[in-house]
Chains A and B, each alone.
Chain A
Amino acid sequence: MSDNQASSTPVEPSSVESSNEQTTHFGFKQVEKEQKASLVANVFDSVAAKYDVMNDLMSMGVHRLWKRFTIDCSGVRAGNKVLDIAGGTGDLTAKFSRLVGPTGRVTLADINLSMLQVGRDKLRDRGLVGNIDYVQADAEALPFPDNHFDVVTMAFGLRNVTEKQNALNSIFRVLKPGGRLLVLEFSKPTSEQLSKLYDMYSFHLLPKMGQLVANDAESYQYLAESIRMHPDQETLKGMFEEAGFEQCDYQNLTGGIVALHRGYKF
């Protein structure tokens, strides 16, 4: 029994990852850098249809509060231009669309067409039309002009990006001076106890739920692993600063299971 537990305790191969510049992590696996985007694409192609249901189920609805907090911190105003990058099925976009009103504009951008399509259908069904643009785009090379957006948000997207620093640099470029970036992402629980509980949940329960509801244990195994491989709060804050963001800070949510990072471009 104890052997069993030991063997199922996840150990992230971080040292291996940093030793080879041609490879990167895809969950706990090492893959060629060029491969990662298409592997991530497969994951989200596979989960797109059931994404919203699974989100509610996995987080017990709490992801809605995390997102709400993100919007509260966005300082978005009527008439603003907002980019929701890796916006997927558009939860943040939906709210931003009402907040910026008819004089503002929201761009829902995602690398994955399946996720964008689910998002577009959902928002249209809710009557949200008129101030939303849907753009297929890679966060690492955003196809928008310099100094264009007042606010950029990225919720649960950054950990899937191959070169995270490139994505932050690219976002910095498209933000207007005075604009802000908010990154909502899984992070490192602040207490040891919570961390253990969370590991049990994400490595044991989550893939089973994925199997049961979405018939896709593998994608949810990737989710758990990718969370583990994502930089912790302080590291990500350093990456924000490296991209040029100022007044960077972060707020731990639900004991650090998730963190909201914020930075300004001046």
Chain B
Amino acid sequence: MPASALFAATLEQSINKVLALDSESESRLAELNGSRLIAFLSPMPFGITLVFSDRVDVLIEHDDFESVKAQLGPKDCCIKTSLDTLPELRETSQLTRLIQQKALYLEGELGVAQQVSGVFQNLDIDVEELLAVRTSDVFAHQSVESIKALHQKVMSMLTDARSVVGNAMVEEKKIAAHKLAVMHFSDEVSALRDSTERLDARLRDLEERFK
């Protein structure tokens, strides 16, 4: 029996349990509905696909990066790197080098990776406290620790994914330049709108005072 199926089942259950602990997850997942994030992290012998609907399904990808790349849909994003390289992705300055050295590949809709990392990073839960309410013995404590460890692992993988996307926006203009430019532009527009609104409020405040 394939151990990969057991691995996927465990990962899927953990992810969905963690997400269910935050009531905001539902609306964040809704934005991702229909998207996929496919990650090939060598030396893992297979890729992992996260499929987003009202929950997250985890699939094992038996095809290789090249064939997956060829079949990417409009809401799919595919990342290929190695587990060893993951820590390096935090360094913005390393990204271009990694891509040039073919130690990192990014394909498809990069916004998906960014949104996925958002789903996990914005989680607002105290896992330990939640579980401590229901359990009190040593075994329960150990479970809390292992769930926390798994949670952290998922978070750190997704943080890496997020920093890859963020940095790619700054550094690797050649990658999906158009989409990135649009995303960057809309971020700037939001920031500008916020400042304008603040300025507007201050002006109104001043007007009131001098009346």
Contacts and interface: CB of A to CB of B under 8 A. Distances in A.
Interface of A: 62, 64-66, 68-69, 71-73, 75, 77-79, 95, 98-99, 101-103, 127, 253-254
Given A77-B71, A98-B55, A99-B51, A253 B34 contact: no
A68 B9 contact: yes
A160 to B, nearest CB: 23
B2 interface: yes
A47 to B, nearest CB: 24
B57 interface: yes
B146 interface: no
B1 A65 contact: yes
Contacts of A65: 1-2, 5-6, 9
A98 B53 contact: yes
B99 to A, nearest CB: 27
Contacts of B34: 78, 101-103
Contacts of A253: 1-2
B55 to A, nearest CB: 7
Given A68-B9, A103-B34, A127-B54, 7 more contacts: A69-B1, A69-B4, A78-B73, A98-B53, A102-B33, A253-B2, A254-B1
B8 A68 contact: yes
12 contacts: A68-B5, A68-B8, A69-B2, A69-B5, A71-B59, A72-B59, A75-B63, A77-B71, A99-B57, A102-B34, A127-B54, A254-B1
Nearest to B67: A75
Nearest to A99: B51
Interface string B112-142: 0000000000000000000000000000000
Interface size class on chain B is 20 to 34
B80 interface: no
A78 B60 contact: no
B9 A72 contact: no
B28 interface: no
Contacts of B61: 72
Given A73-B62, A77-B71, A101 B8 contact: no
Interface string B58-91: 0111110000000101010000000000000000
A186 B36 CA distance: 32
A98 B57 contact: yes
Nearest to A75: B63
Interface in B1-23: 1-2, 4-6, 8-9
Contacts of A101: 33-34, 53
Given A65-B2, A66-B1, A68-B8, A78 B59 contact: no
Contacts of A66: 1, 5
A68 B2 CA distance: 10
Nearest to B61: A72
A77 B73 contact: yes
A72 B5 contact: yes
A101 B54 CA distance: 10
Contacts of A72: 4-5, 8, 59-62
A64 B12 CA distance: 13
Nearest to B51: A99
Interface centre among A65, A66, A79, A103 (most CB of B within 10 A): A65
Contacts of B62: 72-73
B80 to A, nearest CB: 18
Nearest to B6: A65
A78 B75 contact: yes
